[in-house]
Structure 1
Amino acid sequence: MEKVIVEAEETLSALESVFSKFDVDEINTVPFKGSWTAGQLTEHMILSNSGFLQVINGPVTETDKPADLMVAQIKKDFLNFNVKYDSPKVIYPEDKIYHQPELMQNLKQIREGISEAVKGLDLTRTCVAYELPGYGFLTRLEAIYFVIYHTQRHVHQLKNIYNTLNSN
């Protein structure tokens, strides 16, 4: 359990750290054709991770499978940077001007919420509030690893955005 606590903290802190490097004018700059801005990418992470936090803290049932059954598949899917995924509409960021302090505050609240969940909940229970397409109902442990690997994927993308905007 200590491993998941450390991984979640390190990953969510990395997202905050990379995002904090952007200058105010860079947050809403499209770095290259087909890309989100840093603000949009961060908003996508806030929408996704806050949704998963609600699922993790939501209704659960007994689990009839190993609690970590889908973790390896989630990792394989999200850390394959050669594959591009389309975001579900519900977590698709608006095309608007984003403000760094507000986004940073939201990231911090989500990191703290995930930390509390990992430390205080039975991670072997199955979350029943949302069935994830392609994965089914996840255990709390799998849901936390979804947050970790999905966030790691987007930290990678955020670094690419940063490097593109600062390569001149």
Structure 2
Amino acid sequence: MNNDIANALDNTRKHLLSAIEVFTPAQFNRVPFENSWTPGQVAEHLLKADGGALEMIHGATAITDRQPDEKNEIVSAIFLDFNTKMKSPDFILPSSEPKDKNNMLQQLNDKLAGLAQAAREMDLTRTCTAFELPGLGLLTRLEWLNFANVHTRRHIHQLENIHKVTAGVIQ
């Protein structure tokens, strides 16, 4: 199971980096349409969220008294429902400052590679006790890794839509 989530995170990382690479530096910091984040803001949001997941995985844990993947299905269903607009918690909202695309690419690569490495090396059955995901409670390391994966995939979809607009494919 560890290799499954590790491989999924590696694939998501590659897909994310490719989705960001297509933007010019100017497009990276330009709002593509009303009520949208810039690609740079999406990247910063992911950096905060994935960094938080990495902190949870390396933080305090306890023995789990349920199936360690029990919440994966609901987390996946929530974040992979692209028809539902979500509001991000304040602590992972991006700033309005311009972002350096290359710096963001490197940091995202490092965070997601760190998550995949944790997936390969850590006991994923343990419950992370430092933070409860709103509406879902405490998650196991495996569930945090799944969260990082599907949350990142959600934003890859968002970046692909932004690129279609900036490339003039859709209006």
Pick the TM interval, shorter chain: over 0.9
- Which residue matches 1:110? 111
Task: Give the aligned length.
Answer: 168
1:56 equivalent in alignment to 2:48: no
Task: Identify which range, 112-121 or 40-49, moves more after superposition.
Answer: 112-121
Mapped to 2, the partners of 1:163 and 1:25 lie a distance apart of 16
1:82 equivalent in alignment to 2:99: no
- Output the amino acid matched with 2:94: P
Between the aligned residues of both structures, percent identity stands at 38
**In the TM superposition, what is the alpha-carbon distance from 1:3 to its structure 2 partner?**
1.4
- Output the amino acid matched with 2:121: G
- Which residue matches 2:125? 124
- Output the amino acid matched with 1:32: F
Q: Which segments of 5 or more consecutive residues in structure 2 lack a partner in the other structure?
A: none
- Which residue matches 2:163? 162
TM-score, L = length of structure 2: 0.96
Q: Which segments of 5 or more consecutive residues in structure 1 lack a partner in the other structure?
A: none
Deviations 1:74-124 (A, max 9, x none): 011001111111110000000111110110111111022112100110000
- Output the amino acid matched with 1:4: I
Q: CA RMSD in A?
A: 0.9
Mapped to 1, the partners of 2:149 and 2:116 lie a distance apart of 12
1:145 equivalent in alignment to 2:146: yes
**In the TM superposition, what is the alpha-carbon distance from 1:60 to its structure 2 partner?**
0.5
Q: Is the 8 A contact 1:13 1:111 kept in 2?
A: no
- Output the amino acid matched with 2:49: S
Mapped to 1, the partners of 2:16 and 2:107 lie a distance apart of 12
- Which residue matches 1:13? 14
**In the TM superposition, what is the alpha-carbon distance from 1:140 to its structure 2 partner?**
0.3
